[in-house]
Amino acid sequence: MTHGDARPGRWSRRLLRRIAVWGAGLLVLAASAGFLYETIARQGDSEDHGAPGRLVDVGGHRLHLHCTGVGAPTVVLEAGLAESSASWEVIQRRLSTGNRVCSYDRAGYAWSEDSPSPGTAERAAGDLRTLLAVAGEAGPYVLVGHSYGGNTIRVFADRWRNLTAGLVLVDVTDETAVGALAISRPLMAAHFTAYQVAARLGLVRLMGDALVPPEATAAARRHAVVVYGAGSMAAARAEAWAGVDSAAQVRATVRPRAWGDLPVVVISAAGQPAAVTEQARGLAALSTRGRLVIATTTDHYVQHAQPDLVLDTIREVVSARER
């Protein structure tokens, strides 16, 4: 190849470099504009997306607590990973007729402030205990946990058995799946980091339902900029990263008849592998009054797909406590 023949190649490379530089510059400009837009827009969130409940100081940070209805024992609703009190919207509204019902946001999620402590199940259980005590919500409580939220209420029930009136575990995390948790941890962390960046650049606010999980409730969609905002995604990443530690904390509570005669119902989604069903059955067997219910839906969010089943189960456990 002659010297003259090489010139078009060099010219093409220079053109590609210029395009890359201009492209990177445009991306930086767009990101800066999105960041500025989100910073300005979030100033009105306290008015447009105010907390439905109240903020309670639990020692250095405040947690959002939303309680409705009257009755005893009080039902406490615990959300799953990357979810918030808004995920219980339908269940809380319907259950509040004749029952005292409280949902809340773990540290960093939605309307709650972040905590300096690691995002483990033990930290969350301790926060919940303090939250209910400071707020004046007297126990004992019927604790209802979905997915990862089962970790928190299981540790709570072990630490404060005298404050636990019953348990409803809705398709909860399997604490024995340590290998899967270790493998998925970096993937989940990357996933939540991407969502955090998207939220901070205003994409959740701009794109709305396009970035909201399909299982989100109406309340979660209305307040998506808070419920699925950058703070919530950072909290979800921290909990996912601490998932192996949380699983170990939950496993430490497993003993034969650990829950004595506590009313316990474990709800499992349909279509699970046999090993998962047996793990759920073993979980129910930790109480002499425990039982396993297999839902007819394969949806992990059983409380959305079959709200009547979850409502009837909670009422059953409440009634069992009263007898």
Give the tokens for residue 52: 């439905």
Q: How far is CA 264 from the centre of its chain?
A: 22
| β-strand partners of 196 | none
Q: What is the pLDDT of residue 2?
A: 46
What's the chain's Rg over C-alpha atoms?
23
Q: What is the 3-state secondary structure (H, E, C) of the chain?
A: CCHHHHHHHHHHHHHHHHHHHHHHHHHHHHHHHHHHHHHHHHHHHHHHCCCCCEEEECCCCEEEEEEECCCCCEEEEECCCCCCHHHHHHHHHHHCCCCCEEEECCCCCCCCCCCCCCCCHHHHHHHHHHHHHHHCCCCCEEEEEECCHHHHHHHHHHHCHHHEEEEEEECCCCCCCHHHHHHHHHHHHHHHHHHHHHHHCCHHHHHHHHHCCCCCCHHHHHCHHHHCCHHHHHHHHHHHHCHHHHHHHHHCCCCCCCCCCCCEEEEECCCCCHHHHHHHHHHHCCCCCEEEEECCCCCCCHHHHCHHHHHHHHHHHHHHHHC
* pTM of the full structure: 0.87
Per-10-residue mean pLDDT of the chain, 323 residues long, equals: 55 61 51 47 61 94 97 96 95 96 97 93 98 97 97 98 97 89 87 80 67 82 83 93 95 94 97 92 96 97 97 96 58
What CA–CA distance (Å, rounded) separates 288 from 279? 16
Q: What is the pLDDT of residue 112?
A: 97
- With tokens 């499992």, the residue in question is 268
Amino acid at 166: G
Amino acid at 167: L
Q: 284: number of CA atoms within 13 Å, CB side?
A: 18
What CA–CA distance (Å, rounded) separates 44 from 50? 9
Q: What is the pLDDT of residue 47?
A: 63
Q: What stretch of H or E contains 55? A: strand 54-57
